[in-house]
Structure 1
Amino acid sequence: MIRSLRARLLVAVAALCLLAGGVSHAAAAPDPGDIPPGSELRNLAFNTPATQSSTAYDAPAAGATDNNRNGDFSSGSVTHTALEAEPYWQTDLKASKKLDKVIVWNRTDCCSGRLSNFWVIASDSPITSRSLAEARTKPGVTATRVASLSGPSAEVAVNRSARYIRIQLEGTEYLSLAEVQAFGDEVISPSPAAQKWVTDNPFGMFLHFNMSTYQNTQWADPDASPALFNPTDLDPKQWAQSMKDAGMTFGVLTAKHHDGFALWPTKYSDHDVAASPYKNGKGDIVREYVDAMHANGLKVGLYFSIWDRHNGNSTELVQNQLRELLTKYGPIDYLWFDGWGWHIPYSQIPYQPVRDMIRRVSPRTVVANNDHFGTLQTTDVIIYEVPIEGMPPASNDRPIDASATMDTNSTWFHTTSTGTPRSTDDITGNLAKATAGNALLLLNVGPDRSGRIPQDYVSRLKDVGAAH
């Protein structure tokens, strides 16, 4: 869902500034013509085990391998050492890799001048020397000096195989890094399953329905009583019929939002539908939704927030609850993640172990991860939040999810602030733009407190179906 916080967290793409002291103006990367359409170079440093000479201000080394280049320290994704002689940061790529270039990203909120007179050191053997002079002159090591930065990053040509990378300052100073990226010849291409999903399912319904509607806010209080959640006329069959009327093929229901309230009876939390008055604690809204979808020949998607403000954030909780959702309800075709990367960093809950678990228990499930990093490294389908970013480009080779609100006031959960539905022309126009650009349109409709889609939205969805 839309959030003003994310607007501050979006990474600004800036030109790479290449300066003196050994920094190359033309790293030997693969020729762009050799990279297949829609593909991208893999960041070899992502989620690798990083260490640093010391840690200060609760800013660990993993902040520079979490895929987040946001240089604002308050984002929680910037490293920091103590004030010391020749501080260093380093990581292990886990195997020797062909390495063309390393990109070092600086802080942007303050203190950017600290990242000066530093060395980028690469080696196939562990870099164990504490001394900069010893580390950069050890046999088999490549070391390149960067005098200063005039922008947010510096790109350093390496052009060798290496397993270990170190960034080390000369003199006595703090070392603080926003991100360190490493690129060679490894490429990530769109998965055929993700591309097929977008092609075969160009139009779907996002159903933001959870505790927020009952608290009349877009972000619910994670400590509110489950007694507030009490739909009086819940009707997933109506949801499904409205999808069919609009010409949609799938839906995505908010099984758990950032407040942590689960729409299914989960073993791993007491903040769930089983603790609510709905059906005297015997209800399971995910079950009702899935059954209605399958009965109408529609495909099933679920939204799941990695950020859990009630239960806390852990890989174990995420995997346990996902395992329930992916094994108890039959095929889950589409899994839409939120809160990951932009709030809960990959240094806290790593991407790959969770993605691997999903492949094991539900190999057909396509993942759309709303981290706004714009890379296939952390998703199968790249998400555009249309109220923030606009519609995706018409010329695009990667599978994209364009998530938009049907509400003219751009609310996601139905509240007293929710307005009238957008016009038929507006909706069908965005659908045409999406399909022209290798994207699907995921149109949000928020059921009201009764658990039904309001009648003016039902009518508009029928008009949309008749118009396209």
Structure 2
Amino acid sequence: MLQYSVIGTLIVVGSLLSVYTQSSGCHITISGNSAEDFKKCDDLNFQKMMDFVNATKQTQILQDVLVKNCQGRKSEKCVEDVAHKKPTGQSSTYSPTAQYNSSHGVDRLIPSGIVYMVVTNRERNPFWWVNLGREYLVERVEIWNRKDCSSCAERTRNMDVTVGPTLNEMKLCAHYKGPSQTGEHLVLGCTKRMRGRYVKLQIQRTDYLNFLEVKVFALKTCSN
């Protein structure tokens, strides 16, 4: 059973974790199979602390205490797009030209014409992916559908959104039955926050995969 107590600035959670603040800063200790001891609350250690809390499914109150008490900083958990201009790839490229490259999925351009979008060939189970650069706790994926033709927009259906540490280790975040409408903005939330470096969209049928933009919203620690 998980227990916690707060005495002044001392926080103790079972035998797993303790945090206390001093005038010189903050001291964090994690005890377990591989104990770690973080001597200060810099951004890297603070993020490691938050990752530990999330990975071990600690309580929400502990997360709140961490972000409020670490070195007295005004910090908060926030969710923001982590896919912008990150490396991308796709199963194929329609009429291979720059205007249909996979990179257009994360360029934050949402045009009204037939340029700067992701379009694959018509093929079985076409896909697109983005490499976030490191692992994040992914909360949701948002997709902007094509604006230029209704028949193109309807291709966005029976689509799996998966998340994982590698492209060979992906788990389902959300499934979109569709079909989507022209210019529609889809917000697909994972059933729970999922840890991963890669996010992949894949149509489970024979068709083109086409869309304008993707944003991947993940948990980060924001400090002011």
- TM normalised by structure 2 equals 0.57
The partner residue of 1:160 within 169, 194, 205 is: 194
Query: Counterparts of 1:80 and 1:157 in 2: how far apart (Å)?
Result: 23
User: What is the alpha-carbon root mean square deviation over aligned residues?
Assistant: 2.9
Q: Secondary structure at the match of 2:143?
A: strand
**Structure 1 residues 79 and 187: CA distance shift in structure 2, 3 A:** farther
CA distance in structure 1 between the partners assigned to 2:157 and 2:128 by the alignment: 14
**Structure 2 residue aligned with 1:82, among 113, 116, 121?**
121
1:188/1:180 Cα in 2 relative to 1: closer, same or farther (>3 Å)?
farther
| C-alpha distance in 2 between matches for 1:85 and 1:73 | 26
Question: Which residues of structure 1 form unaligned runs of 5+?
Answer: 1-30, 128-137, 191-468
Q: Would you say 1:173 and 2:207 are equivalent positions? A: yes
Tell me the number of residue pairs that the alignment of Structure 1 and Structure 2 aligns.
144
Distance 1:168 1:41, change over 3 A: same
Q: Which position in structure 1 is the counterpart of 2:130?
A: 91
1:121 match:
162
CA distance in 2, matches of 1:73, 1:46: 21
After superposition, give the CA deviation of every residue in 1:263-284 in whole Å (9 maximum; x if it has no partner): xxxxxxxxxxxxxxxxxxxxxx
CA spacing shift, 1:181–1:188, aligned 2, 3 Å = farther
Q: Which stretches in structure 2 are left out of the alignment for 5+ residues?
A: 1-63, 68-73
Task: Report what 2:35 is aligned to.
Answer: none
Secondary structure of the corresponding residue to residue 62 of structure 1: helix
- Identity of aligned pairs, percent? 24
Report the alpha carbon displacement of residue 144 of structure 1 after superposing the two structures with TM: 2.3
Counterpart mapping for 1:35-54 below 5 A: 41-54=79-92
Structure 2 contact 160–172 (Cα < 8 Å) conserved:
no
- Matching residue's letter, 1:184: A
Which has the higher relative contact order, 1 or 2, with Cα contacts under 8 A spaced 6 or more apart? 2
C-alpha offsets along residues 3-25 of structure 1, whole Å, 9 cap, x if unaligned? xxxxxxxxxxxxxxxxxxxxxxx
Query: Post-superposition shift, 1:189?
Result: 7.6
TM-score of the superposed pair, with normalisation by structure 1: 0.28
Match of 1:147 in 2: 177
Aligned to 1:184: 218
* Structure 2 counterpart of 1:303: none
The 5 A counterparts of 1:288-367 are: none
- Aligned-partner Cα distance in 2 for 1:184–1:154: 16
Q: Quick one: distance in 2 between partners of 1:180 and 1:90?
A: 10
Distance 1:188 1:45 in 2: 17
Amino acid at match of 1:119: D
Residues 157 and 54 (structure 1), Cα distance of their counterparts in 2 relative to 1, 3 Å cut:
same
State how far apart, in whole Å, the 1-side matches of 2:156 and 2:88 are: 18
In 2, the alpha carbon distance for the partners of 1:162 and 1:181 equals 15
Q: Secondary structure at the match of 1:186?
A: strand
Task: Give 1 or 2 for the bigger CA radius of gyration.
Answer: 1
Distance 1:126 1:98, change over 3 A: same
CA–CA separation in structure 1 for the residues paired with 2:217 and 2:223: 15
Greater fraction helix: 1
* Cα deviation 1:48-71 (Å, max 9, x = unaligned): 100000011321000001122x15
Distance in 2, Cα, partners of 1:79 & 1:53 = 11
1:56 corresponds, among 78, 90, 94, to 94
The amino acid that maps onto 1:72 is S
Q: State whether residues 90 and 128 of structure 2, in contact with CA within 8 Å, keep that contact through their aligned partners in structure 1.
A: yes
